[in-house]
Structure 1
Amino acid sequence: MNITRENIDELNAVVKVEIKKDDYQPKVEKILKDYRKSANIPGFRKGHVPMGLVKKQYGKAVLVDEVNKLLQESLNNYLNEEKLEVLGNPLPKAQDNFDWDKEDYAFEFELGLAPKFDVNLNTKNKVTHYKIVANEEMIDNQVKTIQKQYGKLVSKNEVEEGDLVAGTFKSEDGEIENTTTLPVEKIKGKRNTAKFIGAKVGDQLSLKSKNLFENTEDLTEFLAVDAETAEDLDVELSFEITEVNKQEPAELDQELFDKLFGKDQVKSVTELKEKIKEDAENQFEQQSDQQLLNDVTEKLIEETKFELPGEFLQKWIMTSGEKELSAEEAKEEYDKSEKGIRFQLIEAKIINDNDLKVELEEIKDLTKDRIKMQMAQFGQMNPSDKDLEDITARVLANQDEVKKLSEQVLNKKLLDTYKEKANLEEKELSYEDFVKEVYN
């Protein structure tokens, strides 16, 4: 067997694989002998079929199969031994006059080679690294939300602002009848709100569906009608009040703090606010980090220049999917994926240049951290080492989970590398301002 390579240019090459009869014949003969032992052909006893008949019936198929196996194996070995970084897969060149009746064969493959380039993390233009802070307004709102969530309902007779009102909506034609509970603040307009404020249990209010709520979703929920009906609904309604409740906020006391964070973890309103701020900013950091990954990625793609074997990749795309594409479809698909191909190459270069590796212990540590967080949500604050090890082992038995966790560990290492080496400019702002700046 002989393998040679002709470099067309820096990004394209052709590999020629020459296979001689001596390379495949011993394997073919062995397989045919095995076939002869088990062949079941009418007129011959099992194991006594003439070899000539076995070769005639199975010889060509076995030959083609073995040559193709040998071809694939030798090509893969060659690419590995030569340390060739290829894009896509080798593409066989068409041979119009190929003849399987010959004893020696030659095959040619087109290769798309990965470009050589350098990545400079210290980009010319700075990348914004957002530091999102929880301001006083956000913290105070979160405290109110907690008080509301853990508060209690107190029954009363007369409706005031902020109350929850239970009752039954009915239309004059009888097509609507729904018992529901709604917050007074859901009612739209001063005229409609005035009908509720001061009303008592047992009162029956006369209303119109049009402009009763801010949106059709509320109409759908509180009148139990479908979205299409709610869109243009304009009917007379009655609402009989059956219950009025005021939601009293929970006291900011030790009982509430223990319920939220565990016994004696938080002991004052000041500590509560500090905890809320810490938790919120930890969550914000995840969003900030993801944005940093996105922004550094965009900047590196923009500033790292190199050519791709575009013509080869389009030919490869034509035949690599479940359905063969036309040249026009393949070009369209290539145009869509070119940016992703570029960053895959850039990322691989960064990983190699910075010797970023994922160790099994790092995957296990990440898994344990995730398990602890999940268990804490159900009140299990201190799981035993044995429980953690057992659950971790079950998680890591799933190869898909291992792959996801490995990618997460690697992304964290990339992020740390960017924070250390990229040309960053820190910007501190509130979450609301972050959303406005990044997503609007």
Structure 2
Amino acid sequence: MATVTRENIGLLNDKITVKVSQEDYLPNFDKAVKQLSKTANIPGFRKGMVPVGMVKKMHGQAIFADEVLKTVEKELMGYIQNEKVEIFAQPLSLDKEARNFDINSPSEYNFDFEIGLKPAFEVTPLESGKTTLTRYKIKATPEMLNEEIERLQLRGGKSEEVEAISSENNVLGLNVVETDAQGTPVEGGLQKEVSFLVKNFSAATQKELQGKKKEDSIVVLASAAIDADKLVWFQHDVLGLHEDISAKYYKLTITKVELIEKRELNEEFFKEVFNAEEITTEAAFREKLQSEIEKSWDAESRNRLHNDLFEVLVHETPIELPKDFLKRWLQTGGEKPKTAEEADKEYPGFDHQLRWTLISDKLIRENQLDVSFDEVKEAAKQKVMGYFGGAAATDGADWLDSYLERLLQDEKFVDQTYREMVTQKLFDWAENKVNVKEEEVTAEEFAKLPNKHHHHEH
């Protein structure tokens, strides 16, 4: 009869030995041979009439080996399930060489496996009074407001394409590519198409651009190309980046040169920008726009707070991991084998994500922070409304319901939406478990804040 034994071989690292004898695998072997004899297509024999001896002669060795391994796997996984052993990934075989199974000499076999055990831990950073984080408040300055108004006026204005740059009022279509100082693209760096007003460049860069035409390009250092008071706006609103770009180089290739007649600040324009609002004066328009800009920065500030919380949880929650086992698993557990050197290089990022998975799973489970299908459905509805704007609501509920039904049959979409929602619910919950102080900063100061990342070896 099969036996399974277990012994500790290291930190959160055990060896499991599975011993199987003839009585464990031979009945299944005989059954598999008989089954194949009923379905095999072998020349000279009618289907279903192939003698068992012929099947054994032709396929017996492969079936024998397969049934031994199936029996071992069944005993191993049954033991882990019955003993409620919490393990990482899958057990790793400790057999260094392939086994030679002899159908003519069935015997007792021992198989050794190692497992990595999940640790018990407490999320100590969320203990009362243990952690203090900062929520930053960014107010929209008059300069930021004026720049956004001008951008909106230009976006809605009448444009005329011209041959070359001749004025600070030219609007450029630019292909922006992150490079080194020599203009060689940085691997994985930013590539983006943007529109940008010449007057928003620094005086020196404006001078360099004069006379440039479509297809011409220049390489610039961000902090030299755009003055400090506009750099954060360019980084955040134009490029959509959240990290400081002042020391980065970009190649700017001109794709279009336009001269645009700016829109007047009147009721028609205000209605186009905020179509759900009754705005009739420039003062009211500025007030509403300032509120929208600050909402955008509030969302950035909240993201930063949650990122800081993520780093604190991952780096300050004491969790021991079976590091050596996990590195060995990295070598063999993927689609293709890795070398020990490749596993070492990949491990820090893997370790970081694994810690977050353990922490988030524990917090979600223990605090019942799950998301229901009805909540996913409502979030999907809001996404659709966001995709199609007011048309989604005014074109009729039947269309919207039909579209939602198809969307909710997409497992990938549902899974992604669920993950986003449960993660957000987790951060909202955890935010209330730490001390949060508020600090007012400028957009420039916010953009240059260092990332909260603890550099130490686990």
TM-score band (shorter)? 0.7 to 0.9
Shift in Å, 1:419? 1.7
Alignment map for 1:409-428 (pairs within 5 Å): 409-428=421-440
Larger Rg: 1
**Does residue 278 of structure 1 match 2:291?**
yes
- Distance of 1:132 and 1:184 partners within structure 2: 27
Separation of aligned partners in 2, 1:433 and 1:186 = 20
What secondary structure, in the 3-state scheme, does the structure 2 residue paired with 1:421 have? Answer: coil
After TM superposition, the structure 1 = structure 2 runs for residues 13-412 of structure 1, keeping only pairs within 5 Å, are 13-94=14-95, 98=99, 100-101=101-102, 102-120=106-124, 121-122=126-127, 124-152=130-158, 185=199, 213-214=207-208, 222=213, 224-225=215-216, 248-262=261-275, 264-376=277-389, 382=394, 384-412=396-424
* Secondary structure in 2 matching 1:134: coil
The residue aligned with 1:173 is none
Which range moved further: 128-137 or 392-401? 128-137
Residue aligned with 1:130, SS = strand
- When the two structures are superposed, what TM-score results if normalisation uses the length of structure 2? 0.71
Aligned partners of 1:247, 1:227: CA distance in 2, in Å? 23
Cα deviation, 1:399-419, whole Å, max 9, x if unaligned, reads 221221111101211220122
Amino acid at match of 1:67: V
Q: Identify if the C-alpha distance between structure 1 residues 364 and 265 changes in structure 2 by more than 3 Å, giving closer, same or farther.
A: farther
**3-state DSSP class of the match of 1:252?**
coil
Equivalent pair of 2:28/2:67 in contact (CA under 8 Å): yes
Structure 2: gaps (5+ residues) = 172-195, 220-257, 453-458
What amino acid is the match of 2:154?
K
In the TM superposition, what is the alpha-carbon distance from 1:163 to its structure 2 partner?
5.3
- One-letter code aligned to 1:16: T
Distance of aligned partners of 1:82 and 1:24 in 2 relative to their CA distance in 1, 3 Å threshold? same
> Is contact 2:384-2:392 (8 Å) kept?
no
The superposition leaves residues 142-195 of structure 1 with CA deviations (integer Å, 9 ceiling, x where unpaired) of 2233233334469xxxx9976559xxxxxxxxxxxxxxxx988599979xxxxx
Q: CA separation in 2, counterparts of 1:419 and 1:249? A: 44
Deviation at 1:420, TM superposition (A): 0.8
CA displacement 1:274-332 (0-9 Å, x = unmatched): 43233323332332232222211222233222321112112212222344333343333
Q: What is aligned with 2:445?
A: 433
Report the TM-score, using the length of structure 1 for normalisation: 0.74
Aligned length, in residue pairs: 382
8 Å contact kept, 1:127–1:299:
no
C-alpha displacement at 1:74, in angstroms? 4.1
Q: Distance in 1 between matches of 2:45 and 2:167?
A: 98
| Deviation per residue, 1:22-78 (Å, 9 max, x gap) | 443343323322322333444444444332221121122122223333433443343
Q: Report the aligned-residue RMSD.
A: 3.7
SS for the counterpart of 1:222 is coil
Deviates further, 108-117 or 290-299 = 290-299
The answer to whether the 8 A contact 2:133-2:436 is kept is: yes
Q: Calculate percent identity across the aligned residue pairs.
A: 33
